[in-house]
A and B are shown apart, each in its own frame.
Chain A
Amino acid sequence: MTTAELIGTDPGWISLVKGLLIFIVCVLATLMSVWGERRIVARMQQRLGPNRVGPFGLIQALADGVKLALKEDLIPKAADRIVFVIAPIISATTCFMSFAVIPLSGKVTLFGHKTVMQLTDIPVGVLYVLAIASVGVYGIVLAGWSSGSTYPLLGGLRSSAQVISYEVAMGLSLVAVFIYSGSMSTADIVAAQHQWWFCVTLFPSFVIYAISMVGETNRAPFDLAEAEGELVGGFHTEYSSLKFALFFLAEYVNIVAVSALATTLFLGGYHALPGLGFTENWLGGWFTVIWFLVKVVFFFFIFVWLRGTLPRLRYDQFMKFGWKVLIPFSLVWIVVVATLRVLSQQGAPRAVVLGFTIGVVLLVLAGSSLMESAKKRRVREDALGEVSAPNFPVPAIPSTLMKKETEQLNG
C-alpha cells in the first residue's frame, strides 16, 4: 500500500487530529527556536543569552510573545489600512500550509488507526510547497508597500526581487531530485532515499538548495529585506504588537518549513542514520519522528550558525551570486544529472558512465583553473596600472612595492 493510499483510508477525524498536531508542533518549534537561536548566538558571541524566565530561560519566547501582544497596535496615517492588516495574515497563514505534505514519520498507529504522520500526499507535493512559498512572499511585499514609508518599501522591493531570483535557483536544484526519485511526491522522494540519501548522490543540488533556502527565508547573510543597519527594520518597520508578532512567527515557521523540506528531499526524511535502521521500529514506528526532528534541528543550527558568522551581503553582490553563479551552475548540473540518469537507465556499460563522469569533472576543473588564472592576471594588471600615490602620508601599498620589484627585474 503506498503512502497516498494509506492516507486515503484516514477517516476525517484522524486528519483533523493530524492537522492539529502539526500546528502545535510548528508553534512549539517556533517558541523553542527563538529561544534556541538566542542561546546559540549568545554562545557564539561569548554571552549567556536569555536565562531568567523558566529553567535555562526556556519560556523566554513565551514571555516575549505576551509582551508583544500587550504593546500598542499602531497603524501609520499614510498606510493603506486594508492591505496593511492583510499582509501579516498572509505571511502567518501560508507558512503553516507547506507542512501539509511533509512526511514526519513512517507507518505509525494513531488512536488505533494505521497511518503516517503526513496530512496529505499529492503527486506534485514539492511543487505545492514552492507555490505556497511564493504566495507567502506577498505578505512581505505588501507589508512593505502598504506601510506608506520609504524604508519598508525598499525592504518590500528587495524581497520581491530576491524571492523571484532565488526561487529559480531553488526550483532548478529540485529538478535533479525529481529525476532521480522519478516523482514529485514527498512520500515517494523519502522512499527513494531508503538506501542513499540525495545529499550524497546529488551533492551539488543539495548545496544549491541549502544556499537558496537561506535566501528564500530572508535570513542572514541574505536578510536584505529587513537589513536593520540599512533599512531600520525593512518591510516590518511600521509594524508593532500582534501584527509584528505574526511576521516574527512566520519567519521562524518558515525556517522550520524549509528545513523540513530539505530534510525530506536530501537527508532521507524520517529515515534513520545509515546503519541505525533498526531504530525505525522503536516505539511502534514513532521513533522516526525523532529522527526527522533531529535532522530539522541540525538545519536550524546551520541557520543560526550562519547568522552568527557571516556579514550581510551587499545587494548587487547577492543578485549577481544568484543569477550568475547559482542558476548557470544548476543548469549545467541538471544536464549532467539527466545524462547520467539516461545512461544508467538504458544500461550503458560502466566504462561509458565512468568516462562521462571523468570528462565532466575534467572540464569543470579546466574551466575553474582558467578562470582562476584570468582573475590573477587581472589583479596583477590592476596593481601595475595603479595611479600615482596620493599626496598625503599613507602606509606603503603592496602594489607599489610590486611595481618596484618588477622594474628591478626588468632592469
Chain B
Amino acid sequence: MTSLALEIGRTAAPEAVMFWILAPLAVAAALGMLFAKKAVHSALLLAWVMITLAIFYIAEDALFLGIVQVIVYTGAVMMLFLFILMLVGVDSSDSLVENIRGQRPTAITAAIGLGGLIISLLGRATIGVEAIGLQEANSAGNVQAIAEELFTKYVWAFEVVSALLITAALGAMVLAHSTATKSRTAQRDQSIARFRGASLATAAGLPNSGVYSRHNAVDVPGLLPDGTPAPTSVSATLEARGDMLTSKPFELEVKEVEED
C-alpha cells in the first residue's frame, strides 16, 4: 500500500486505495454508458459516473462540491433525464443504424481531438506542478470559502448565470406551452355528459370486466344479467390491440339435468 502511495506521489494511502478501486469502475461505467443499448442503462451508468466523481471531489477536500454534485446532477438532472427516457418503455433499444452519412468518422475524429485537448490541458496544469493554497483556501471552512468567493469576487458571473438559466427555463416553458384548442373536460363536465347523454345505461360507469370464477381478468368481457357478454366492459385499447378474449354467453344447462 505504501509503495502504491509513493508511486502517486503526494496522495495519501487510503485515498490511493479508494482511487484505484473507484477510478476503474468509473471508467468502465463511462465506457458502458457509450456502448449500452438501452437508453435507461446509459443514464444509470452516467449517474454512477457522477456519484464516483462526487466521491473523488469529497476525497480531494471539496466537500461542498461533492455533495452538491450528487444533489444537483444525480438527484435532479439525471432524474429529469430518466423521467423522459422511462416514457420510451422497457423493451425498446436504440436503433444503431446511421442516418447521417459520415457521422461515425466525423464523431470519432472530433472525440479524439477533444480528448487530446483535454488531456494536454490537464497534463500541463497538473504534471510537475505542485498544488498549493488548498489549506489556506479552506482555512475558514470549505463552505464559507466558496460562499465568500461566490458572493464577492464572482458575484457578477453568478448572477449572469442565474439570469441565463431563468431565461432558458422561461423560454422552454413558452416554447412548450400551447393554448388548448378546446377546454379540458373536468369532472363536472364529464358527470353532466353522462347524465345528459342519449342513454342512462352508463350513468353509473361502464360495466366491469369478467369477474366470475374462470376469468377474473381485464381482458375478458363480463356478462350482463341476461347472460350475454358486455363488450364495453373491456378497455378499448385492449380491443384494438387484439388482446381481448371472448367469453361464451352463459347458458343454463337445466335440460340435461331433467333428461338424467
* Chain A residues in the interface with B (C-beta under 8 A): 78-80, 83, 122-124, 127-128, 130-131, 133-135, 137-138, 141-142, 144-148, 153, 156-157, 160-161, 163-164, 167, 171, 184, 390, 392
Bound-complex Cα distance A124 to B66 (A): 10
Bound-complex Cα distance A153 to B86 (A): 8
Which of A135, A148, A157 lies in contact with B75, CB distance below 8 A? A135
Supposing A124-B64, A124-B143, A160-B79 touch, asked if A131 and B38 sit within 8 A by C-beta, the answer is no
Bound-complex Cα distance A156 to B71 (A): 19
Bound-complex Cα distance A133 to B74 (A): 11
Query: Is B26 in the interface zone, CB < 8 Å from A?
Result: no
26 contacts between A and B (CB under 8 A): A79-B90, A83-B40, A123-B64, A123-B142, A124-B64, A124-B143, A131-B67, A134-B74, A135-B70, A138-B82, A141-B82, A141-B83, A142-B40, A142-B44, A144-B86, A145-B40, A148-B90, A148-B91, A153-B90, A157-B83, A157-B87, A160-B80, A160-B83, A164-B76, A167-B76, A390-B196
B189 nearest CB across to chain A (Å): 11
* Chain B residues in the interface with A (C-beta under 8 A): 38, 40-41, 44, 47, 51, 54, 63-64, 67-68, 70-71, 74-76, 79-80, 82-83, 86-87, 89-91, 141-143, 192, 195-196
Supposing A123-B63, A123-B141, A124-B143 touch, asked if A161 and B83 sit within 8 A by C-beta, the answer is yes
Interface of B, helix, strand, loop or mixed by DSSP:
helix
Residue of B nearest to A147 (CB): B90
Are A390 and B195 in touch, CB under 8 angstroms? yes
Most buried by A among B41, B68, B80, B90: B90
Are B79 and A130 in touch, CB under 8 angstroms? no
Further 12 A-B residue pairs, CB within 8 A, beyond A130-B71, A160-B79: A80-B38, A123-B63, A123-B142, A127-B71, A131-B74, A131-B75, A135-B75, A145-B86, A145-B90, A146-B90, A148-B91, A184-B143
Bound-complex Cα distance A160 to B242 (A): 32
Residue of A nearest to B83 (CB): A160
Bound-complex Cα distance A145 to B157 (A): 39
Most buried by B among A80, A134, A141, A146: A134
| Residues of B contacting A171 in the complex (Cβ-Cβ under 8 angstroms) | 71
Are B44 and A163 in touch, CB under 8 angstroms? no
| Residues of A contacting B143 in the complex (Cβ-Cβ under 8 angstroms) | 123-124, 184
Residue of A nearest to B54 (CB): A131
Which of B51, B70, B79 lies in contact with A163, CB distance below 8 A? B79
| Residues of B contacting A160 in the complex (Cβ-Cβ under 8 angstroms) | 79-80, 82-83, 86
B245 nearest CB across to chain A (Å): 19
Most buried by B among A79, A124, A390: A124
| Residues of A contacting B54 in the complex (Cβ-Cβ under 8 angstroms) | 131
Bound-complex Cα distance A78 to B47 (A): 24
Supposing A124-B63, A184-B143, A390-B192 touch, asked if A138 and B91 sit within 8 A by C-beta, the answer is no
Residue of B nearest to A86 (CB): B44
User: 3 closest pairs, A vs B, by CB?
Assistant: A134-B75, A131-B70, A148-B90
Bound-complex Cα distance A80 to B41 (A): 10
| Residues of B contacting A79 in the complex (Cβ-Cβ under 8 angstroms) | 90
B203 nearest CB across to chain A (Å): 10
| Residues of B contacting A131 in the complex (Cβ-Cβ under 8 angstroms) | 54, 67, 70-71, 74-75
Are B90 and A78 in touch, CB under 8 angstroms? yes
